[in-house]
Amino acid sequence: MYELLPNIDCDLCPRLKSFIDENRKKFPDKYNAPVPSFGSKESELLIVGLAPGLKGANFSGRPFTGDYAGDLLYGTLLKFGFAKGKYKAKKDDDLELINARITNAVKCVPPQNKVTGQEINTCLQFLKTEIATMPNLKVILSLGLVSHNAVLKATKCRQSVFKFGHCHIHNLNKNLALIDSYHCSRYNTNTGRLSTEMFESVFREVKKILIYE
Ligand code: URA
């Protein structure tokens, strides 16, 4: 507990560490390290993704930056007033988040985009710290089931009580709501599991909670 991010050469997950080492050799000019959260810790909204994408966050060093999921996520954040500036798919664009912070359940890129249960549990300490050190946190938005379950574990809430469902709102306690969304991956939009309208309705709900709470 108390660390926000694994150190740059974190080897708590041997499989992830060796994948990062491999990628450092293959792509020496890319970021290739645990990806820090983005946005102010004073924010009321925390968005939790799964893990960095190889050529997205793992290359750029900023969550969701540089891949399809990021195009959709940042485009929607801009539309709903949770971001300003221009998203240019790189860390040094002038995009700023407004009242929102973005993190991942697992901070290092996994092979084939798949994390193991053990890796989720090992990285949970950082998510716990993240949640515990956001003084104004009111809403957590989980992108996908892995994130939903990690958030429940991090907040000591039971999966049998809070079932994942797109746009479902769970009151974890009187000060904290969890809202679920299908992950904004290309796979989910291509297969029709997630449409732009469905993704936007999640942000409409988030806004309502933050305004009326
Ligand atoms: N990029 C991230 O940072 N997280 C995801 O879950 C997907 C892409």
Residues 148-192: tens digit of each pLDDT: 999 999 999 999 999 999 999 999 999 999 999 999 999 999 999
Residue 20 pLDDT > 80, yes or no? yes
Q: What is the CATH number of the domain that holds 203?
A: 3.40.470.10
pLDDT band with cut points at 50, 70 and 90 for residue 212: confident
Does residue 11 lie within any of the structural domains?
Answer: no
Does residue 183 lie within any of the structural domains?
Answer: yes
Give dist(CA 178, CA 162) in Å, integer: 9
Please compute the mean of the pLDDT values over residues 85-92 and round it to a whole number.
96
Does residue 163 lie within any of the structural domains?
Answer: yes
Which of 37, 67, 90, 189 to probe ligand 1 with, by most ligand atoms within 8 A of CB? 67
Does residue 24 lie within any of the structural domains?
Answer: no
Q: How far is the CA of 57 from the centre of ligand 1 (A)?
A: 7
Please compute the mean of the pLDDT values over residues 132-151 and round it to a whole number.
98
Please compute the mean of the pLDDT values over residues 38-61 and round it to a whole number.
98
Residue 56 pLDDT > 80, yes or no? yes
Q: Which domain holds residue 144?
A: 40-212
Other beta carbons within 10 angstroms of residue 162's beta carbon come to: 19
Would residue 204 be called left, alpha or beta, if left means φ above 0 and alpha means ψ between -120 and 50 degrees? alpha
Give dist(CA 96, CA 145) in Å, integer: 27
What pLDDT was estimated at residue 211?
A: 87
Q: Kind and range of the H or E element at 102?
A: strand 100-104
What pLDDT was estimated at residue 183?
A: 98
Residue 213 pLDDT > 70, yes or no? no
Identity of the residue numbered 43:
S
Q: What are phi and psi of 96, to 5 degrees?
A: -125, 140
Q: How far is the CA of 113 from the centre of ligand 1 (A)?
A: 9
How many structural domains are present in the chain?
A: 1
Question: Which residues fall within 8 angstroms of residue 15, CB to CB, at 6 or more apart?
Answer: 110, 111, 116, 119
Q: Kind and range of the H or E element at 70?
A: helix 68-79
CA dist 136 → 5, 46, 103, 210, 211 (Å): 20, 10, 16, 11, 14
Q: List the residue whose alpha carbon is closest to atom 1 of ligand 1.
A: 64
Q: How far is the CA of 212 from the centre of ligand 1 (A)?
A: 29
Identity of the residue numbered 151:
V
Residue 1 pLDDT > 70, yes or no? no
Does residue 95 lie within any of the structural domains?
Answer: yes
Give dist(CA 88, CA 178) in Å, integer: 29
Nearest-atom index, ligand 1, CA of 35: 3
- Pocket lining for ligand 1, CB < 6 angstroms: 49-53, 56-57, 63-64, 67, 69, 104, 143
Strands of 137-211, DSSP E: 139-143, 169-173, 176-181
Among 168, 204, 183, residue whose Cα is nearest residue 79: 204
Grouping H, G, I as helix, E, B as strand and the rest as coil, residue 203 is helix
Does residue 147 lie within any of the structural domains?
Answer: yes
* Residue predicted with more confidence, 53 or 213: 53
Does residue 193 lie within any of the structural domains?
Answer: yes
Does residue 104 lie within any of the structural domains?
Answer: yes
Asked if residues 147 and 103 have their Cβ atoms less than 8 Å apart, the reply is no
